[in-house]
Structure 1
Amino acid sequence: MAKQATVQTVEESPRPRGRPRKTDSAIGSEAELTKSAIIDKAIALARQMPLSDISMVQLAREFDVAPGLIHYYIGNRDNLISGVLNYYYGDRVRRLPALTGHWRNDVEKMANVLLAHATDHPGIAQYIASHNRFRLFQQVGGNETDYGVVYFDYVAQAFLQGGFKPKQVALAFHLLMQFLVASSTAQASRQLPADHKEFIKAKFEELDSAKYPAAKKVGVPFSSLDSKQAFEAGLKLLLDGFAQWLK
């Protein structure tokens, strides 16, 4: 008769608090995981999809680790969003030219830089357009810089150096940001008429001139409007309006 094997069970000791074990990662890649690496991955994903759609679970899949590890390094979702936006504003600030004291030229150059930057990060631009949290102030640690504030200070200085009053600067900042958010969102989501030119033009051509005379006249040039035309014309109207305040 065969001798029966003895199975010895060993009770696993309780998990200690603190850093998760390497074995919690399917491929043992925890050493590669840092807060910075996770933020970088979220930024890369936001070039292809809205930031609001990026979850902790998705990031865990990207790194092939347990979701708990993402929470360990990042904390909660607000920390993730704020971390991405703080990087975004920091990158934006680094692209901005030095102020010259000529407010209109400075603001015009700044606006073009901001539009190009938002176009590079459509998922983040769309998030800013639809969410109010972290548009300005970020959740940063004691040794970290809040680049939302740095960015605000830059824009405020551009107007103050031109002789605008603080209340005027506050309103100018708000109006300019609203315009830039709308412009970047329209460009990222292909909402400009020129993006659908042939369809729009054909629809206007089908209209009855007697019934819709104004629409018939305006329809064709409307169908050709692209992002460059809309942005340059809108920015000029804003800057012309701001210039009137100084008079």
Structure 2
Amino acid sequence: MSHHAVQPPYRRIAAEIRRRIDLGELGPGDRVPSARQLTREHGVAIATATKVLALLRAEGLVLTRPGAGTVVAPGPAAPPRARRSADRSEPELTRERVVRTAIALADTGGLAAVSMRQIAAELDVATMSLYRHVRGRDELILTMADAALADAPLPAVLPAGWRAGLDLLARAQWATYRRHRWLPHVISIARPQMMPHGMAHTEWALRATGGLRLDRQLRWHMAITLMAYVRGIATNLEMRAQAEQDTGLTDDQWVGGQVATFQQMIAAGGFSTMAALTAQGDVDLDLETVFEFGLRRLLDGYATLVAPPPAEESGVSPGR
């Protein structure tokens, strides 16, 4: 039996709907089964059913219409632009609408779901009309990232104390990454990007360490290292969500089902330290606890750079 014959459930179900569209059983504008219908008809988890529809949207085969659900996208024989001209009530196509539609697609299906063709299908416009508002996909994705950061503006006034300021910034970025799991894969630490709202985050971090008598090298490294830490942990968010969609299981449920296998591997591999710690009981360990632990320890480390040296090291006697 060929290994190519085995497909994940969501791909098998998507292929069946794709076949019905190709045969004309489902035509442009026809509703496709909803996520709940797919769970009933195929006996899969709601997360798997949602992924079916996300895949079909990413391929440009279906789109979501308010009040109508998910329907087959218009074919080339019925250009969307011609239909729009007859309906003057449609909102004007703007750069903001293009960007917001792209963000919605990325939030559902990741960056792979974002294509000019799919955005045009969602907005019911001709694909070429999008290029009047964005030059191409690269510019669009950078604009999406800046818009996502703009949705969670930082307070106008820094909290008192450098640590409170950096802690607030880290948590604001973490919350934004959790809402937009594709975002950490866009942000670059090595090559600064022309994003006004992203630059505002860097400005905030630098302001937080102002007045501490630290040199500029140290202040820049503290700011960038903090943001790199949050981004690094956040790159795992999309993988976790993808795994939950593929399996229909949460991290805890998946680990629970793999305990016996892990124990066998630990024993067979001679991992004595892991075996000893595992035998002592479960550990509360997930992305959130790792983020919290790492953030606290990172800021603790910064505190040693900010604090004045002990009196005996500074040459000042304790009595003075």
Please indicate the TM-score interval, normalised by the length of the shorter structure: 0.7 to 0.9
Q: Which residue of 2 aligns with 1:225?
A: 285
| Residue 193 of structure 2 corresponds to residue 136 of structure 1 | yes
Query: Structure 2: which amino acid aligns with 1:148?
Result: G
Give the structure, 1 or 2, with the largest relative contact order (CA under 8 Å, sep 6 or more).
1
Picking from 272, 276, 283, the partner of 1:213 is 272
Alignment-derived partner of residue 25 in structure 1: 81
Contact 2:209 2:219 in 1 (8 A): yes
Q: Which residue of 2 aligns with 1:74?
A: 134
Question: How far 1:237 moved relative to its partner?
Answer: 1.4
CA deviation after TM superposition for structure 1 residue 219, in Å: 4.0
Structure 2 counterpart of 1:108, one-letter code: D
1:197–1:223 Cα contact (<8 Å) kept: no
* Amino-acid identity (%): 24
Provide the C-alpha distance between the structure 1 equivalents of 2:150 and 2:190, rounded to a whole number of angstroms: 19
> 1:57 — aligned with what?
117
Aligned to 1:184: 234
Q: Secondary structure at the match of 1:28?
A: helix
Q: Which amino acid aligns with 2:260?
A: A
Which residue in 1 is equivalent to 2:27? Answer: none
- Tell me the residue number matched to 2:262: 204
1:223 CA displacement: 6.2
Which runs of 5 or more residues in structure 1 are unaligned?
Answer: 1-22, 139-145
Is 1:154 matched up with 2:204?
yes
What is the TM-score with the length of structure 2 in the denominator? 0.59
In the TM superposition, 1:71-110 aligns within 5 A as: 71-92=131-152, 94-96=153-155, 98-110=157-169
Q: Is the 8 A contact 1:50 1:123 kept in 2?
A: yes
Q: CA deviation at 1:204?
A: 3.4
The 1:195/1:186 distance shift into structure 2, 3 A limit, reads farther
Is contact 2:134-2:140 (8 Å) kept?
A: yes
Q: Is the 8 A contact 2:159 2:165 kept in 1?
A: yes
Give 5+ residue unaligned stretches, structure 2: 1-78, 244-249, 308-320
SS in 2 for 1:137: coil
Single out whichever of 219-228 and 96-105 deviates more from structure 2.
219-228
Contact 1:48-1:122 at 8 Å conserved across structures: no
- Whole-angstrom distance in 1 between the partners of 2:125 and 2:206: 43
User: 1:200 Cα deviation (Å)?
Assistant: 4.8
Quote the Cα distance in structure 2 between the aligned partners of 1:203 and 1:24. Answer: 53
State the Cα deviation string for residues 3-38 of structure 1 (Å, max 9, x = none). xxxxxxxxxxxxxxxxxxxx8713226862111110
Mapped partners of 2:169, 2:186: distance in 1:
21
Displacement after TM superposition at 1:102 (Å): 0.3
| Residue 7 (structure 1) aligns with | none
Q: In the alignment, what sits opposite 1:114?
A: 173
Change over 3 Å in CA distance of 1:132–1:35 after alignment to 2: farther
Deviation at 1:120, TM superposition (A): 0.6
Q: Structure 1 residues 174 and 111, CA, compared in 2 at 3 Å: closer, same or farther?
A: same
Pick closer, same or farther for the CA change 1:26–1:202 going to 2, 3 Å.
Answer: farther
Q: Secondary structure at the match of 1:160?
A: coil
Aligned length: 215
219, 228, 248: which one pairs with 1:169? 219
**Gap change, CA 1:213 and 1:91, over 3 Å in 2:** same
How far, CA to CA, are the matches of 2:129 and 2:194 in structure 1? Answer: 26
Aligned AA for 2:141?
I
Q: Deviations over 1:66-117 (max 9, x none)?
A: 111011222222321222122122223x144731240111211221121111
